[in-house]
Structure formats: C-alpha cells, structure tokens
Amino acid sequence: MLFVSTLPEFHWGEHKMSWLYGWVLGIASSVIGAYVVNYIEAMRLAKAISIEGTWAELIPGSLEPSPHQYSLGHIYFDKRRKIYACDGTNYLNDGAKFCHWSTITSHIDTGQRKFFYTFATQMDREPGVTYYGFGVIDLESRDGKLVPAAGYYVSANVDGKPMSHTIFSLPLQYSRKTPGSQVIHAIQNASK
C-alpha cells in the first residue's frame, strides 16, 4: 500500500486537452517528416536517372515470323503524362520496317534498378491493328547515374515469349522515318 499512496494523483480533466494536442501534433509531425524525407529521396534519385536519348536494341532471338533483330528507340520524359516513355521502331533484317511501339505507361523502380513499361504496337503490314505488350529495361550505375544496360519485352502477337535484347546508346536522332538500312548499319558497327 505504501507504493500506491506515494503516486501522485492524476486529474484527467486538467490534462485531457494538452495530451490530445500533443498526440495530434506528434502524428502530424511524423506524417510531414516522412513526406519530406520521401520527397528529398525521390529528387535525389531523379537526378541519378539518365535514360533519355536514342537507344539501339539488338534482339538475337527475334527470328519468327521473319528475322527482325534491330530496333531503334527513343526514351524521353513525357511532361503531359509525367512518365518516361520508350517509343521506337523495329526493323526486319533486310531493313524494312516491321513495327512501331509507343509507351502507354511506365514506372522506374530505382531499388530494383529497372524501368518497366507497357506499350501498344502497330505492325507495319497490318494498318489499324494494335497489339499490346510490356518491356523491362535493366539499369546499371555508371558514373553515379542509372543508365540502360539490357532488357527484354513480351509482345503477345509478335514473338509470343520474352525476348531478351542488348541496349546501347547510338548517336542517331530518332525518327520513325529513319531508314532501316541506316539503323542496321549503325547497330552492327556499334556492337562490334
């Protein structure tokens, strides 16, 4: 009984509001602090991403229905949609255009170092028909920046299975009108 009698008497009514204000202020501070930390981290990582530019792909297994192993794509930040987009053109090995793809949506996971995107594909020989697929580009750290290193895609109608590809920067300006022979020549020279 000595223990109980030495405890100070607590009057709930006197301290109820100050306790409640402290609790609300603590939660609000925690939420705001977490938001600020996440925002600063996102800004730091955004500065470390260096994926914009013209990129070539060499797709060794893309042989059916006819060999189409060369692609030229352009990764850029789409301000309207607030995403990175990867649009490009795939060429038959003889230089004719095979298909063109456009990004629908994308996400960069800096923890996994991957750029994920879904795309719509229009086959050059099937006007008006659109197919869908997804792609993953692995990112690696070079000079403190995350840059494309390799990747794969799955397009239900084209190859029907995951297709791995190399990816490397090319000093070409991307255009859907770039002649396939020029793209293939540049890719072959750069991959030697």
Answer whether residue 33 shows pLDDT above 90. Answer: no
Question: Tell me: the pLDDT tens digits for 42-85?
Answer: 666 556 788 999 998 888 877 776 788 899 999 999 999 999 99
| Residue 24 pLDDT greater than 80, yes or no | no
- List of residues 6+ apart from 145 with CB closer than 8 A: 48, 49, 50
Average pLDDT, the chain: 82
Q: Alpha-carbon distance 118 to 135, whole Å?
A: 6
Query: Mean pLDDT, to the nearest integer, of 88-103?
Result: 92
Amino acid letter for position 18: S
Measured CA to CA, the distance from residue 154 to residue 160 in angstroms comes to 7
Quick check: pTM over 0.85?
no
* CB neighbour list of residue 98: distance below 8 Å, 6 or more residues apart: 66, 68, 89, 90, 91, 92, 123, 124
Rg (CA), the chain: 27
Residue 16 has pLDDT above 80, yes or no: no
HEC sequence for the chain:
CHHHHHCCCCCHHHHHHHHHHHHHHHHHHHHHHHHHHHHHHHHHHHHHECCCEEEEEECCCCCCCCCCCEEEEEEEEECCCCEEEEEEEEECCCCCEEEEEEEEEEEEECCCCEEEEEEEEEECCCCCCEEEEEEEEEEEEECCEEEEEEEEEEECCCCCCCEEEEEEECCCCCCCCCCHHHHHHHHHHHCC
Which pLDDT does position 74 carry in this prediction? 93
Range among 24-28, 36-40, 52-56 rated most confident: 52-56
28-32, 61-65, 181-185: range with highest mean pLDDT: 181-185
- Asked if the bond preceding 162 is cis, omega within 30° of 0, the reply is no
Say if residue 34's pLDDT is above 90: no
Bridge partners, residue 150, by sequence: 138, 166
Per-residue pLDDT, 1: 46
